[in-house]
Homo-oligomer: A and B are copies of this chain.
Amino acid sequence: MSLEIEKQVKLLEDQLKQLQGAQAKDQISIIVFSGDLDKVLAAMIIATGARAMDMEVKMFFTFWGTTMLRDKNKSPKGKDFMSKMFGFMLPKGSTKLKLSKLNMGGMGTEMLKGLMQKKNVASLEDLITIAAELEVEICICQMSMDLMGFKKEEMIDYPNLKYVGVGTYLADAGESRVQLFI
């Protein structure tokens, strides 16, 4: 009979191990679809806050969100006409993003930035620097890059910036305890 029990215990061990392996990691996965200053700020505050609590953080910038990652000082050559036009129409980096509401020709956006400074809230540029220091992982949607006609050489210098597809996002999201679409 004790042999029988041994078998059962072995089976339990295996099942338990399998269950442990399937648990979500202490990780948050954030799609940043929006390029609005307010929404991007929310995403970066959540991301850096999560790292401060020792969660792993994976951010996926797609569509309008990719504009936050453009470097205003870089101007890549050799773009076709459409890419140049999109490049001109879309915000060139974090300092150019606008509020989704109350922008009022830029006045609302400047008001908010002034308030943030006054209330000692980190600016978007500060948050990007902090995110890099805290090792927030930033991925950019390759398809969005293609559609917008952005080139890798016009994006900001961020440690381990990756260009990925939806499959990478889904794999990471599936392992994460928390997922957001912003």
Contacts of A116 in B (CB 8 A): 147
Interface residues of A in 65-108 (CB under 8 A from B): 82, 85-86, 89-90, 101-102
- A8 to B16 alpha-carbon distance, docked (Å): 13
Contacts of A165 in B (CB 8 A): 49
- A164 to B147 alpha-carbon distance, docked (Å): 35
Contacts of A15 in B (CB 8 A): 16, 20
Number of copies: 3
Contact call A20/B19, Cβ cutoff below 8 A: yes
Contact call B147/A119, Cβ cutoff below 8 A: yes
Contacts of A115 in B (CB 8 A): 82, 147, 149
- A169 to B20 alpha-carbon distance, docked (Å): 25
Contact call B13/A42, Cβ cutoff below 8 A: no
Contact call A9/B20, Cβ cutoff below 8 A: no
A38 sits at the interface (CB 8 A): yes
Write the chain B residue with the least CB distance to A82. B115
Contacts of A131 in B (CB 8 A): none
Contact call B12/A13, Cβ cutoff below 8 A: yes
Interface residues of A in 160-178 (CB under 8 A from B): 165-167, 169-171, 173-174, 176-178
Contact call A89/B102, Cβ cutoff below 8 A: yes
Contact call A121/B143, Cβ cutoff below 8 A: yes
Write the chain B residue with the least CB distance to A181. B180
- A-B residue pairs in contact (CB < 8 Å), sample of 5: A35-B101, A45-B143, A53-B171, A119-B146, A121-B147
